[in-house]
Amino acid sequence: MGHVKVTSRTKNIEYAIRDVIAHTQQLVKDGKKIYYLNIGDPAAFDFKTPQNVKDALCKAIEQDNNYYSPSEGRAELREAIARKEKRVNGVDVHADQVLITEGISEGIQMLLAAVIEKGDEILFPGPTYPPYISYTKFYDGTPVAYETVEEDGWQPNLEDLRKKITEKTRAIVITNPNNPTGSVYGRKIIQEMVDIAGEHDLLLLSDEIYDQLTFDQEFVSTAALAKDVPVVGLNGFSKVYQMTGWRLGYMYFKGQGTQLDELKLAVEKECRIRICANTPVQIAATAALEGPQDFVEDIVNRLRQRRDFAWKRLNEIEGISTSKPEGAFYIFPKIHDVGTRWRNDMEFVVDLLKETGVLIVNGSGFDPIYGKGHARAVFLPPVETLEEAFSSLERFMKNKQKK
């Protein structure tokens, strides 16, 4: 049999959120109950896809809309997205500037493929959503984290951001509301980040998939504040419309200049080689945007109750402290005994899982510097389930402190 050579770029891929699941396999076989607090999937809990959206998908299939659609996305959906961005986020963008992707993750992959040459640097918030790190490395770039400050509710340290810009920097990533910390960046911070990008002639990649899921702080879209600075906005249907498994996202290009036009054309070419996004799902997504939106308020109210519970409960546990998330459905507690009782946060996560069945994600998986010593949990389950999981965590911490 011939020797099959596997590339180093694929050998080194990491995705902490799903990598931790490997540790559950034997436990599940042994019949242990697992509390899945690792994946941000509202549809896996008691948040259901709106009925009109499910109906629209079934109808699209019944009416034989099962063909390839345009590579850049169906015109009706791109127009609906332009209207949504204006209505919800105050962003003026034309439908022609919108591209449809198979989930926001494909959008990240395509964008970074179009932006990064070997040795280029991408700045992202530390901690961050892992694909920004993984895909930057995949395309031979260098991921560089700028600090976000835990004591300040994980707001970006703009001085640190400025210091990290070099002649190799190609783009600044803003993830707002943030995954994994749940922070929401204020208007002033976003404006300053836009100004910094403008000063250094840098592209802004603004990941806004949790735009409508904020609790106490107003969400401000980067593109709404950026006048001449080029912004690529990334968004999708997974989190607000509970369409996680449907895999549909979008990006839009906002700003002036031939470079942005060239970038959009490059991503369009990538869209062509993968043919198109799912046609019936695009039809359903149009219905999602054009149909009733009152369910969003209900989701936010339920999440706020679970957020309040998770924040209070985790801070009651000795050896754990956490700041209060202002958006999304993640909480990012600090585990104080990492480095002494546990060598690192991964060892803590695996130890907790094996003893209690509580599955959370190691913080260093979101950034080895600014994420370490932490863990990410989702507060998507009902309060009763969260209470069971956090009580197990508390007993676990008490037992470890006795030893």
pLDDT digits over 73-125, tens only?
Answer: 999 999 999 999 999 999 999 999 999 999 999 999 999 999 999 999 999 99
> Which pLDDT value is given to residue 67?
97
Domain contains 377: yes
Residues 184 and 331 in one domain: no
What confidence score (pLDDT) does residue 15 get? 65
Last residue of a domain, one of 257, 290, 323: 290
What average pLDDT does this structure show over 52-61?
A: 98
Give the closest residue to 234 by CA, choosing from 116, 100, 346. 100
As a whole number of angstroms, the distance between CA 52 and CA 110 comes to 31
Of the candidates 172, 168, 142, the residue with the CA atom closest to the CA atom of residue 156: 172
Segment 21-40, tens digit of pLDDT: 777 888 788 888 989 999 89
Six token digits for residue 162:
């400025």
Phi/psi at 320 (nearest 5 deg)? -130, 140
Q: How many domains does the chain have?
A: 2
CATH classification of the domain holding 349 = 3.90.1150.10
Decide if pLDDT at 1 tops 60: no
The pLDDT of residue 7 is 84
Taking the C-alpha atoms of residue 266 and residue 258, their distance in angstroms, rounded to an integer, is 12
Are 58 and 180 in the same domain?
Answer: yes
Q: Work out the pLDDT band at 319, boundaries 50, 70, 90.
A: very high
Pairing status of strand 375-378 against strand 330-331: antiparallel
pLDDT of residue 192: 97
Q: Same domain, yes or no, for 278 and 340?
A: no
Between 166 and 402, residue with greater pLDDT: 166
What is the DSSP secondary-structure string of 120-186?
A: -EEEEEES--THHHHHHHHTT-EEEEEEEEGGGTTEE-HHHHHHH--TTEEEEEEESS-TTT-----
The pTM of the whole model exceeds 0.75: yes
Residue 152 and residue 18 share a domain: no
**Does 346 lie in the same domain as 208?**
no
Residue 68: is its pLDDT beyond 70?
yes
